Chain A
Amino acid sequence: MDDLIADFVAECREMLEALGGEIVAWEAQPDDRARLDSIFRFVHTVKGNCGFFDFPRLEALSHAAEDALADVRAGRRHADGTLVSAVLAIIDRISEMVAAIEAGEDMSAGDDSALIASLEPGAEGPVAPLVTTTTDVATKASAAPRTIRLSVELLDRVMSTVSDMVLARNELARRLRESTTDVPVDGAFERLSSIIAEMRDAITRTRMQRIENLFVGLPRMVRDLSAELSKQVLVDVDGGDVELDREMIEMIRDPLTHIIRNAVDHGIEKPAERLKAGKREIGVLSVSARQSGNQILIDIQDDGRGIDGKKLVEKAIANGDIAKEDAAQLSHRDQLALIFEAGLSTAKQVTAISGRGVGMDVVRSNIERIGGIVEVDSRLGEGTRMTLRVPLTLTIIPALTVSIAGQHFAIPRSAIEEIVRSNGESVTLEHLGGAGVATIRGRRVPEVSLATILGLKSEVDENDRTLVVLRPAGGDVYALSVDRIHDHEELVVKPAAPAVMATSLYAGTTLADDGSPILLMDPAGIAEVGGVKLETLERAARIAEVPAAAVSRATAVLLFRGLDGGRRALRLAVVDRIEEVAAANIKQAAGQLRVQVGDAILPLAGASAAEVGEGKIRLFRLNDGAHEIGYAFAEVVDFATIEHDVIHAERPGEISGVSLINGEPAELVDAHWLFAHHVGTAARASGQLVCRMPRDDPWMQNMLRPIVEAAGYRVIGEDAEGDADLVIASQGEKVDAANAIYLRNEPEPKGKKDDSIYRYDRAGLLMALKSAGGGRRK
């Protein structure tokens, strides 16, 4: 019996949720038969079930509603505002009762006769329909997709089994790598791998829910609110079929509700006011959701009075949140962003609905907690648009693994801006009163040592660490120094125990490929614990660099055409310079295309051997501070900035995503991936020791050169420009150099004065190479 009741409750809930929107739509178009039918079906089902379960109050209510609706269906009665309100009230009561049944409360007492009486025709005299002109709320009754009901526990179990499977696969992959296997085995494993990946995708999808679940309640809420405030609001809901993680939907429910309440309360004016302002008396509130890459964008837009940035600033000054002189420097965007500060509200009077000055800061922190961002845009008198950007799912997060003192941690990739070496060329690290400040290409960012924050002892010298430049969601940039960077991984993140979360350093736990637990760091938490003063700092930094600030916040890119004609963009910061080389200088060597530029051989990206052709090839020299690679292209189109949303690529690769640049789509080249992919041991590291040796001596080039290079030298030809730390020549030649090694062909020296080295005396050679290198380092 209990099971049956539970089923009944679940069924009622589902229908109630779906019904919220239907009723308001029905009110707008009382002659809409489809809507009427679905409401009728609901009360009918409830009535039927009640008889079976013995819930007399429910039965009486649903019976009365059914009768009234049956009259409407039969055309004996017109569905007017009174009737709609009465039916709404009854449905509300039913949903209260369903909740009571679920909670196991007693609900036999109570009187519903007033509600039932209000259903009678002419109960409260003739009332005109409440809203007459709202039309296309959602023109079609949403056809419910075919579904079955599953318990969440079962889903979670399946999910965790799949995670186990992924781990087992990873383990197997490692074993396979270690041992030599047959091609068929590898092939079979590859297939298994891709099937598992597909399965994981599918399982992840089962956790997804249509955002409709969140949206169905909105029309009803807005209807009640606007009635209370005697405003007229038309809700336009779009994108209900966008899917979002089940947990995520719950997390954005409150922020979304809050924003909508704000919009109706403060945004949309009263009808008279609207007419005076030359607008239609009915305000329009549109709520839409769409997917953009691995983010979901939810727009809430109203055509109300907009936000007065100046008023916000005045209030912020009055509250002492910002200094007067700073306030003058704020851009329109910054002014608007002040609504997220705690305690600010421009509402003239506090209403029961909103305007207590608590809210928008809570909205922002709630959205940020799930890795999202809230943006606001508003024009005074024209309206306001709030945009929530939230990640698609909470559970699978692309992350970078780093280590401190041998322990691994994960950092969500979404927060990472760039990764630099603290001893790289364009990076300097300074300490001011114990606080670290990193200067990265002229930009000062606070530096925080993860080792210090975690209280771990790092074995890596401060200057050899790697800086991960982080931008926490909505926050500001800081650099986190870690011992070592390891890998990009897609991690299945689970919430950590409260005792672990209490540190506010971690966002969750996850399992690495080898099955050991890893803590996922919370970039905002680290900043807080590390004492990085984000808000104030960013504002101060921005003021310091007016007025270029607005420009520099957009990412500058170089727009070009690739050899294959593709329209691409590269971040300007990674492009060192542009070179032109002969196609003959491009060779397939050591596993990849390489290009000779001057005396350097760089890995070449952006071209396949077939595309190189003949003649001249132009290429970008990209520099990450330590290595260089070449990137071939056909022509530079323009300098531009990325202003539109970037649609991220499905999987990491040469192209990280696409975006509209100057009105046309362009592929964004992922410089990080290029370096990760192309920089092998052969990449030219700057600041290396240089060794000069004859280019035309095949023995030297073929036999000696690898040894010299293995010893850390960059080898150049005898005619190349620049200083060499060491010169190698055959015996009998004379070279002008401080450090020179002469090689002879005979094992025995010619005389006592002969300081040459036998060409196969490996130990002697290495010694000489080492001492020549040591000479320079002194």
Chain B
Amino acid sequence: MSELLLVVTIAGERVALPAAAVESVVELDTLIPVPRAAPHIAGLAALRSRVLTVIDCMRSLELGDTDCSDGIREAAVVELDGHHYALIVDLVEDVVESLSEPAAVRAAMEPGWDRVSQGMVETEQGPLLLVDVAALIAGVEAKAAA
């Protein structure tokens, strides 16, 4: 069964998000920080009348910080349990069709990627890592607490 995938770049790596989960792709302007929240919560942003909780994917993956100082960032908006999140990515590339079911990646991944991985999917552009949006949003600490 083929599924549409949104190809994005996070930390220099091309990965796939399930396109069905992504509501829109937006450009974030100013972020309102949330003091004392988990480190991967980059802040809040307003999209029309909705408040988006902005997730710094780099930090969620323990791959360093996204530099938010230079202004506009691209982000994918997803909804999880009635809340809207914006996932900061380096670049939104394309929408492709998956050619296979996700298969386990049998090589050792970096811990951050391993945590959010749903497996590898074949596409016309070669194999891509399918990212679990919920795990990305949960970040490091949720996993540690679980």
Which residues of A approach B to under 8 Å, CB–CB? 160-161, 163-164, 167, 407, 453-456, 494-500, 502-503, 505-506, 509-511, 515-519, 529
Contacts and interface: CB of A to CB of B under 8 A. Distances in A.
A454 B36 contact: yes
A617 B133 CA distance: 71
A456 B36 CA distance: 10
A454 B35 contact: yes
B34 interface: yes
Contact of A160 (B38, B44, B50): B50
Nearest to A514: B46
Interface string B27-42: 0001011111110110
Contacts of A163: 49
Contact of B41 (A455, A500, A515, A529): A500
Contacts of B142: 499
Interface of B: 30, 32-38, 40-41, 44-46, 48-51, 53, 81-83, 85, 137-139, 142
A496 B51 contact: yes
A497 B32 contact: no
Contacts of B85: 497
B24 to A, nearest CB: 15
Q: Most B CB atoms within 10 A — which of A454, A494, A505, A509?
A: A509
Contacts of B45: 517
Contacts of A516: 30, 32, 46
A362 to B, nearest CB: 23
A455 B35 CA distance: 7
A86 to B, nearest CB: 42
B46 A502 contact: no
Given A167-B49, A494-B51, A517-B46, A499 B41 contact: yes
A500 B49 contact: no
Nearest to B32: A517
A498 B83 contact: yes
A407 B33 CA distance: 8
Given A509-B44, A517-B44, A519-B44, A499 B51 contact: no
A147 B35 CA distance: 45
Contacts of A519: 32, 34, 44
- Report, nearest first, the 9 A-B pairs whose CB atoms are least far apart: A454-B35, A497-B53, A517-B44, A164-B49, A497-B83, A509-B51, A163-B49, A503-B36, A517-B51
A505 B33 CA distance: 14
B37 A502 contact: yes
B42 to A, nearest CB: 11
Given A160-B49, A496-B53, A503 B37 contact: yes
B49 A499 contact: no
Given A497-B53, A516-B30, A516-B32, 14 more contacts: A160-B48, A163-B49, A164-B49, A407-B32, A407-B33, A407-B35, A453-B36, A454-B36, A502-B37, A503-B34, A506-B34, A510-B51, A511-B46, A516-B46
Contacts of B82: 495
A535 B33 CA distance: 32
Nearest to B80: A497
A417 B81 CA distance: 36
21 contacts: A160-B49, A164-B49, A167-B49, A407-B33, A455-B35, A494-B51, A495-B83, A497-B83, A498-B83, A499-B53, A499-B142, A500-B44, A502-B37, A503-B36, A503-B37, A505-B35, A511-B46, A511-B49, A516-B30, A517-B32, A517-B51
A385 B100 CA distance: 65
Nearest to A451: B35
A509 B48 CA distance: 14
B57 to A, nearest CB: 14
Nearest to B82: A495
Contacts of B33: 407
Contacts of A500: 34, 37, 41, 44, 53
B30 to A, nearest CB: 7
A204 B41 CA distance: 31
Nearest to A405: B35
A510 B32 CA distance: 12
Quick one: which of A167, A453, A455, A502 has the most chain B CB within 10 A? Answer: A502
A164 B48 contact: yes
Nearest to A409: B35
A505 B37 CA distance: 9
Given A516-B30, A519-B44, A499 B37 contact: yes
A456 B35 contact: yes
A500 B41 CA distance: 8
Nearest to A156: B82
Contacts of A503: 34-37
A511 B84 CA distance: 14
Nearest to B85: A497
A160 B84 CA distance: 14
B34 A515 contact: no
A454 B142 CA distance: 21
Contacts of B50: 160
B5 to A, nearest CB: 24
Contacts of A509: 44, 51
A33 B49 CA distance: 52
Nearest to B34: A500
Which of B35, B81, B137, B138 counts the most A-chain CB atoms under 10 A from its CB? Answer: B35
A516 B43 CA distance: 12
B46 A515 contact: yes
- Most chain A CB neighbours (cut-off 10 Å) among B45, B49, B142: B49
Contacts of A496: 51, 53, 83
B137 A499 contact: yes
B81 to A, nearest CB: 7
A164 B51 CA distance: 12
Nearest to B83: A497
Most buried by B among A455, A497, A511: A497
A203 to B, nearest CB: 13
Contacts of B49: 160-161, 163-164, 167, 511
A493 B106 CA distance: 46
Contact of A499 (B30, B46, B139): B139
Nearest to A506: B34
B38 A502 contact: yes
A502 B53 CA distance: 13
User: Most B CB atoms within 10 A — which of A453, A455, A503?
Assistant: A503
Contacts of A160: 48-50
Nearest to B44: A517
A189 B85 CA distance: 35
Residue picked from B36, B38, B41, most chain A C-beta under 10 Å: B36
B47 to A, nearest CB: 10
A529 B36 CA distance: 10
Nearest to B48: A164
B41 A498 contact: no
A456 B48 CA distance: 28
A497 B44 CA distance: 10
A518 B32 contact: yes
Contacts of B53: 496-497, 499-500
A167 B49 CA distance: 8
Nearest to B36: A503
B90 to A, nearest CB: 22
Contacts of A498: 81, 83
Contacts of B40: 499
A497 B85 CA distance: 8
Contacts of B35: 407, 453-456, 503, 505
Contacts of A510: 51
Nearest to A159: B49
A564 B88 CA distance: 62
A456 B30 CA distance: 18
A537 B77 CA distance: 45
A519 B36 CA distance: 12
A164 B83 CA distance: 18
Nearest to A167: B49
Nearest to A450: B35
